[in-house]
Amino acid sequence: MTDRRPNIAMILTDDHAAHSVGAYGSVVNETPHLDAIGARGVRFGNCFATNALCAPSRASILTGTYSHVNGVRTLSTPIDASQPTFVSQLRAAGYRTAIVGKWHLGEGPGHDPEGFDSWDVLIDQGEYHDPRFLSADGLRTEPGYATEVITDLALRWLDSLDGDDPWCLLLWHKAPHRPWEPAPAYQGKYSAPIPVPETFTDDYATRSESTRRSTMRVADDLNATDLKQPVPPGLSADEEARWKYQRYMEDYLACVASVDDSVGRVTAWLEEHGQYDDTVLMYTSDQGFFLGDHGWYDKRLMYEESLRMPLLLSYPRAVGAGQVHDGIVTNVDFARSLLTAAGVEPHDRMQGRDFWPDLTGTDQGTNSVPPADGMYYRYWEHDDGNHHAAAHYGYRTDRYKLIYFYNDGLGLPGASSVTYPPEWELYDLVADPQELTNVADDPAYTAIRRDLEVQMWKAQAAVGDEPHPGQPLPQ
Ligand code: SGN
Ligand code: CA
């Protein structure tokens, strides 16, 4: 251990699924610079987003609170940026702080970044080419490719720092978000056939109607902007779906290739300046993404590919190399954990569990906070008018996942007057890791489901959220 306060460099991407990271066993690409962070520190095997959507996840990461506490439930609920964040707390403790890249938490007074010495952020979703940036000095356009420009600006800020006070940098990329526009150098890098996931032809046979109604199918819902080329004539339906998958993945993975380069540049900067060992270097994404899994792209739904976040972290000064952390952690836990790393007391309202002692302890007994039994999830948007994903909440343990689609949309953003009956899904992640068989109404799982309903209800209450008015309380 050391008395020295670590620097913190959090590289966050947008929609980067763990199964397109080498360290997570990707079969579709390689990410050597990302993997190196995990090899030099920790790979988290079970990190989850508590609301798998961009703005809500970012708000949870910053404030260490759930969506119903920080108010950012959906993409159309801008943040109250005066809330305490781990960054504002670090700054108050003497850290130099900056954010560069995608913010997507609203614009204008009260919503622009607060708690940063320097902020330089993309407008709204941001652009891949010649992106516009907003800073305290106003709006400007930066020529170039977003992933490279954001990295340049971040390293320029690091270069500008003098003295020994620690720093905290949020380097938040747009990539690999839709519409998946690669850097010119990586056009064509993935033109060889990309393996189609086993669940690509999921027929949704036992799933809820809520799930089936969502429109994010590779076969049906990718548009001309996404595909960038006309669909070749004469293909069968199955061939066309696979052609679209290939087109989608070529661009998505090429965007990831630039992200890997960016991570390599940050790593090199830290090494060249002798700061790698004294920096908590984190790589993560705001949530996961469907890469043709279950026939989909996008996220929102509580299935594994969307729920799971890659999380790789190194800090050689205090965290042993080559660790795998398999306990359940969430994006809400980041704020507390990073503050502990910096020796700063977290703000009272911060929720989640401090996982820092899990990483630095010499044995398993050093964290006085027991591992989480499960994680509570809530996706609040009720039909965004595009992907039509229904609001739901759920609970995931190491073995099971229970999901409740309440479906009447009471008081929810985007709710239409059309209502559907509430629906449950339950997956046994050991017997059915691909989540293909909903066993919510299988008599063999009656007792398990009842127990999970109670656990979910308790977890919901523990974080200060309430059941939807339509939900029957567990017996
Ligand atoms: C855009 C995308 C959607 C995506 C949302 C949310 N459509 O609206 O596909 O789900 O962003 O993404 S696009 O055609 O405009 O690209 S998030 O990362 O901000 O949550
Ligand atoms: Ca996102």
pLDDT digits (tens, 9 = 90+) for 53-82: 999 999 999 999 999 999 999 999 999 999
Which of 98-107, 290-299, 425-434, 461-470 has the lowest average pLDDT?
461-470
Residue identifier of the C-alpha nearest atom 13 of ligand 1 = 178
**Number of neighbouring beta carbons within 10 Å of residue 199:** 17
Q: How confident is the model at residue 206 (pLDDT cuts 50, 70, 90)?
A: very high
pLDDT of residue 30: 98
Tokens of 221: 């819902």
CA of 318 to the centre of ligand 2 (A): 31
pLDDT of residue 384: 85
Ligand 1: list residues with CB < 6 Å.
14-15, 53-54, 75, 104, 125, 177-179, 298, 387
Q: What is the mean pLDDT of residues 290-303?
A: 98
Query: In the predicted model, is pLDDT for residue 1 greater than 50?
Result: no
Rounded to 5°, the CA angle 299-209-427 comes to 65
Q: What is the mean pLDDT of residues 3-22?
A: 96
Single-letter code of the amino acid located at 467: P
CATH topology of domain 7-181+247-372: Alkaline Phosphatase, subunit A (3.40.720)
pLDDT of residue 190: 98
Mean pLDDT of the chain: 95
Which run of H or of E encompasses 375?
Answer: strand 374-379
CATH of 375-462, one of 3.40.50.970, 1.10.3720.10, 3.30.1120.10, 3.50.50.60: 3.30.1120.10
The more confident residue out of 460 and 411 is 460
CA of 16 to the centre of ligand 2 (A): 8
Task: Using the Cα atoms of residue 16, residue 59, residue 92 and residue 329 in order, give the sign of their dihedral.
Answer: negative
394, β-bridge pairs:
377, 403
CA of 178 to the centre of ligand 1 (A): 6
pLDDT of residue 473: 75
Residue identifier of the C-alpha nearest atom 10 of ligand 1 = 298
pLDDT of residue 474: 72
pLDDT of residue 382: 85
Rounded to 5°, the CA angle 253-224-307 comes to 45
Query: In the predicted model, is pLDDT for residue 114 greater than 90?
Result: yes
- 449-468, pLDDT tens digit by residue? 999 999 999 999 999 999 99
Q: How confident is the model at residue 370 (pLDDT cuts 50, 70, 90)?
A: confident
Query: In the predicted model, is pLDDT for residue 301 greater than 70?
Result: yes
Alpha helices (runs of H) in 41-170, residue ranges in sequence order? 54-63, 67-70, 86-92, 146-160
Cα-based torsion angle of the residue sequence 464, 298, 309, 83 in order, rounded to the nearest 10 degrees: -40
Instruction: Enumerate the domain spans of the chain.
Output: 7-181+247-372, 375-462
First to last CA, the chain: 49
